[in-house]
Structure 1
């Protein structure tokens, strides 16, 4: 076989597009086998927060690998996981008291959904309906796809997906329609509402305001419906604060975290739950235990990386870097927004986005041309259809960010 046997995600190999081989990385720069230096302007799918190969995280991984690489977590424990859970609770909302480990954003959502359904089952109440927001994305496993938007990316798997109640995205003045739909869904005995706070990521970097998030939380609380915040992408500073929920003074019943949990260095996720959710599963009856795990739950090496990430947040000026990046993004986005082909320029914290020749949707023919153009200009940008977004590591330099926006400016004039 002359070509690579690797089957890449979200890649149509039939188009035979070149796939660069990355040899190493540092900060916001990827180095390829053919000697190119590529600026990672999307944090390698939103995971890399401080920058690639942060020395403290690398050192923690190396040290832990020499002590304990893996251990079953069902009925066993280890120091990196215990420390991580306790330290997480010191920076998370006080009402979130329990930490369940998994290994990706999708699985953290699966865990949250199963916790919610288990909660109502233990209470003897027949609540099964999950409420979701239009255009949302929560992952690519079966439960996560079920609570995400339906479209070409999951239509082949429709027989596997369960039904949900979808409320409208609050864009274009539809805020009241969103609240009314949520109120109605909650009144009919929904089990839980799952939402990406403030930013719908894969749905097109769609933003909504803090007041709406606050009102949605209040509706769920009044109806006794569990509120699940999927902060897999929005957490760890992306929206300008540690959690997006902070900006609305919202505390969920269940919180999903991954991506930046280890600084993006290695897979790990957590689902944090409130005490009532824990209590519903706590019993002497083994049939009421929480039936979920994976082989690599709370892998010690991944936990060590996460502990190093938390130490970086404690010891280094991470929030100042986030503020600087937000200002730098605003300055450059303002210039892009003046271009006649650009619409919907917007920013939330460190995330900047806009539409280019809007109206073609996710499978826009423009998207692969843009992807190829950016790669040829040594910039990693991966448009969501006609939506171009910039979400770099917090340590990106001004010169590197200028390279990103120079490539965007060139694309606006050259790619049709």
Structure 2
């Protein structure tokens, strides 16, 4: 088997995600044969540093021996069983562990298959909760501009990135959008904290106006990832929690991309010392091994559904692979690595190394901002640094960085004109330097007129 053979077979039958397939007439697919640590290898022996953790899911490297062992052991015992009316050890142990490690008050765990499904569950639970309490007028959701919560219709509706959402507008429920606290838009000399506080005024006014008809506010804590890795201060979450309590509205924290150490704490909400009413988890939950998601919620929410069957208050949402034993065991092994190693301490060291490696980008004539939250670092390319005029999206400058980086053995997949680093936690400082060096030369090439 070689690259060319597999690519030909692939294009005959496969439709790839988040892709214009016609691009692959000029941009060859990369067939991966194996992975080890932060490295991927294709069938022709070329290696690629996975600087984006394979869409933000891989925490402890490809083919991690401890996670491998856990999944293999589970495979010999039980691969899957229906979770309706049945249970199994891995699902129970993982739910216990998630209740233990997530913010206080989150006491019940509902499983699904992926991040979008977790969002759907949280939206439906919130709406259904108020309905069970006799407040069926509470049927709206508040979301932030530039947010992204997934591709299924409910998740897409509460997102706000036009590229993904606009085509399907006629299919989507109406939501209330509020200006984002995205600190890229702050005034010169204004701190992240001050800007985030200033932007919260919009949320406060919206809640005051619509609270009687709103189920929940949904946010990505600290980093709006698919919206260009835009970031804001934890104070916004602190104020939001207080306001949601004041106006009797649920708070849904979408920690699918930012959970499990990405922002410097195990969960981003910890930096604001808050507990949401719903926390959605996926991606890094299984260390990048298997599709699994979880929605954590409070006993108060749970009790609103706990009733005699004939009262029809039960939450009847389900997935065939709910609580899959292999996925649960991979997740337990992943959490075990956090608890047996000083992962967060080591991540702080790695985050400092990433920041240092990216210092020179701050003076680049086509870089408007270098921003960082924990193990997420983003570089915003612009046509004009002084005015922050963006490059026309049609020029696909980020794609030029992607192609160059692949030629140098680094997997960078920009979000438009935002180049970002979001590597596995097992990356070394020398590999960080390589990642930044390749990104620098890719940006030099991409910004030549």
What TM bracket, shorter-length normalisation?
A: over 0.9
Q: Distance in 2 between matches of 1:381 and 1:366?
A: 13
Which residue does 2:442 correspond to in 1?
411
For the residue of structure 2 that corresponds to 1:191, the secondary structure is: strand
Deviation at 1:318, TM superposition (A): 1.1
Which residue does 1:373 correspond to in 2?
404
- Normalised by the size of structure 1, how large is the TM-score? 0.97
**1:238–1:351: 8 Å Cα contact kept in structure 2?**
yes
Gaps in structure 2 of 5+ consecutive residues: 1-7, 187-194, 384-389
Which residue does 1:342 correspond to in 2?
367
Paired residues for 1:14-413 under 5 Å: 14-15=22-23, 16=25, 17-125=27-135, 126-170=137-181, 171=183, 172-173=185-186, 175=196, 178-187=199-208, 188=210, 189=212, 190-286=214-310, 287-358=312-383, 359-360=390-391, 364-413=395-444
Deviation at 1:186, TM superposition (A): 2.0
**1:43–1:392: 8 Å Cα contact kept in structure 2?**
yes
Residue from 12, 17, 24 that aligns with 2:20: 12
Moved over 6 A (4+): none
Larger relative contact order (C-alpha < 8 A, sep ≥ 6)? 1
**1:99–1:273: 8 Å Cα contact kept in structure 2?**
yes
Deviation at 1:150, TM superposition (A): 4.3
Cα distance change, pair 354–150 in 1 and its aligned pair in 2 (3 A): closer
CA RMSD in angstroms, aligned pairs only: 1.5
Cα distance change, pair 346–150 in 1 and its aligned pair in 2 (3 A): closer
Cα distance change, pair 150–309 in 1 and its aligned pair in 2 (3 A): closer
For the residue of structure 2 that corresponds to 1:288, the secondary structure is: coil
When the two structures are aligned, how many residues end up with a matched partner? Answer: 416
Deviation at 1:369, TM superposition (A): 1.8
Q: Distance in 1 between matches of 2:77 and 2:356?
A: 47
For the residue of structure 2 that corresponds to 1:345, the secondary structure is: strand
Q: Distance in 1 between matches of 2:82 and 2:246?
A: 40
- Normalised by the size of structure 2, how large is the TM-score? 0.90
Deviation at 1:332, TM superposition (A): 0.7
Gaps in structure 1 of 5+ consecutive residues: none
Q: Distance in 2 between matches of 1:150 and 1:372?
A: 24
Deviations along 1:52-79, whole A, 9 cap, x unmatched?
1111111111111111111111111000
